[in-house]
Copies of this chain bind each other. A is one copy, B any other.
Amino acid sequence: MDRNENYLLKNREMIDRELDSFFKMKLDECRDPVSRDMVARIRDFTMNGGKRVRPILTIAGYNLFRGFDERITKASISIELTQSYLLIHDDVMDQSETRRGKPSFHAGVRESIPEGTWDRKRLSENLAIVAGDLADSFANEAITRSGFGHKEILLATDLLAEIVEYTGYGQLLDINSAMDEEFGQKDLMRLHLWKTAKYTIEGPLMMGAVLSGSEKNLKPLSYYGYLLGLAFQLQDDILGLYGNEKTIGKSVKNDVNEGKKTLLMIKAMEYSPEYMPFINECLKNGDISDEDFEKLKDIVKSSGSYDYSINMMKKLAEKSKSYLELVDGESETKNFLKWFADYIITRQN
Q: CB-CB < 8 A to A164: which residues of B? A: 133, 136-137
In the assembled complex, the CB of A89 is this many whole angstroms from the nearest CB of chain B, namely 6
CA distance A154 to B131 in the complex (A): 24
Complex Cα distance, B129 from A172, in Å, reads 10
Q: Known contacts A126-B93, A126-B175, A165-B137; is A144 also within 8 Å of B118 by CB?
A: no
Q: Does A310 contact B (CB under 8 A)?
A: no
When distances are taken between beta carbons in the complex, the residues of chain B under 8 Å from A150 are: 150-151, 154
Could you tell me if B168 and A134 are in contact, using CB atoms closer than 8 angstroms?
Answer: yes
Q: How far is the CA of A66 from the CA of B286 in the complex (A)?
A: 59
Interface-side segment among A32-40, A50-58, A200-208, A297-305 = A32-40
> A32-B190, A169-B35 are known contacts. Are A175 and B134 too (CB-CB below 8 A)?
no
Interface centre among A141, A162, A169 (most CB of B within 10 A): A169
Which B residues are in CB contact (< 8 Å) with A125?
93
Q: Assess A123 versus B175: contact at CB under 8 Å? Given A133-B89, A137-B164.
A: yes
Interface check A92, CB cutoff 8 A: yes
> Chain A 241-252, CB within 8 Å of chain B: the 1/0 string?
000000000000
A292 to B47, CA, bound (A): 49
Number of copies: 2
Interface membership of A157, Cβ < 8 A:
yes
Contact partners of A133 in chain B: CB under 8 A: 89, 136, 164, 168
Q: Which residues of B contact A122 (CB under 8 A)?
A: 93, 95
Cβ of A346 within 8 Å of any chain B Cβ, yes or no, is: no
Residues of B contacting A113 in the complex (Cβ-Cβ under 8 angstroms): 179
Tell whether A172 pairs with B130 under 8 Å between CB atoms, given A153-B154, A157-B157, A179-B113. Answer: yes
Any B CB within 8 A of the CB of A173? yes
**Is A127 an interface position by the 8 A CB rule?**
yes
Binary per-residue interface labels of chain A (164-189) against chain B in the complex, 1 for a CB within 8 Å, 0 otherwise:
11001101110110110000000100
A121 within 8 A of B: no
* B118–A173 touching, CB < 8 Å: no
Q: Are B144 and A38 in contact (CB under 8 A)?
A: no
Chain B residue numbers with a CB within 8 Å of A187 are 32
With beta carbons under 8 angstroms apart, the residue of B93, B158, B284 that contacts A118 is B284
Mask, A219-239, CB within 8 Å of B = 1, is: 000000000000000000000
A161 within 8 A of B: yes
Report if A140 contacts B (CB, 8 A): yes
Q: Given A164-B133, A165-B134, are A172 and B141 also a contact pair (CB < 8 Å)?
A: no
Flag if B157 contacts A92 (CB, 8 Å): no
Other than the given A123-B175, A150-B154, 15 more pairs (CB < 8 A) read: A32-B173, A35-B169, A38-B172, A93-B122, A123-B179, A127-B175, A130-B175, A133-B164, A137-B161, A137-B165, A138-B165, A141-B158, A141-B161, A141-B165, A144-B161
Interface residues of A (CB under 8 A from B): 30-32, 34-35, 38, 89, 92-93, 95, 113-114, 117-118, 122-123, 125-127, 129-131, 133-134, 136-138, 140-141, 144, 150-151, 153-154, 157-158, 161-162, 164-165, 168-169, 171-173, 175-176, 178-179, 187, 190, 284, 286
